[in-house]
Amino acid sequence: MKIDIPNVGSYSIENIVFDFNGTLAKDGKVPPRVYRQILGLAQDFNVFIITADTFGTVEEIFNGTDVKIEIVSKDNGTLDKKHLIESLDSEETIALGNGSNDVLMLKESAISIAVLGQEGLSIEALKNSDLIIKNINDFFEMMKEPKKLVATLRK
């Protein structure tokens, strides 16, 4: 997907990286609508879910799909997330998260989106994102109509 944001830059987005708990899932469970939307994105993008998998559910949920799962260290997850973005080519990556352990990942990606979901949003994640959305479903709507994303981020 090509996204041209006036006075910001042009991006050719190939990758979407989601934090899991708090961003996509609550208590390790993904709502059915969110699950369907993620699988839809995986048809057009490289979709990654990166998590320490606190509840031990992510691999079972996405088993047999095109979604790539990256399990990070509970102790070094912040750096692990940053390293994944670097390995993917950060200029081709949108990252979404809500926690302090997502900050480096958000800073490294071309477009970073903080998700204010039911589990809240850390101030550090907020300060290091290009955009804040009230829930993950807002992102799926933006991906259907990228002009919404452009309208918010242009300078």
Would you state the pLDDT for residue 4? 93
Angle at 46 between CA 101 and CA 145, to 5 degrees: 90
pTM listed for this prediction: 0.95
Q: What is the mean pLDDT of residues 43-71?
A: 96
Polymer length of the chain: 155
CATH topology of domain 15-149: Rossmann fold (3.40.50)
Structural domain spans, the chain? 15-149
| Cα–Cα dist 72/79, whole Å | 9
Could you tell me which of 89, 85, 87 has the C-alpha nearest to residue 19?
85
Of the pLDDT bands very low, low, confident and very high (cuts 50, 70, 90), residue 75 is: confident
Pairing of the two strands 68-71 and 111-115: unpaired
| Cα–Cα dist 148/71, whole Å | 32
Could you tell me which of 91, 132, 95 has the C-alpha nearest to residue 112?
95
Would you state the pLDDT for residue 118? 85
Of the pLDDT bands very low, low, confident and very high (cuts 50, 70, 90), residue 2 is: very high
Q: Please check the confidence at residue 131 and state whether its pLDDT lies above 90.
A: yes
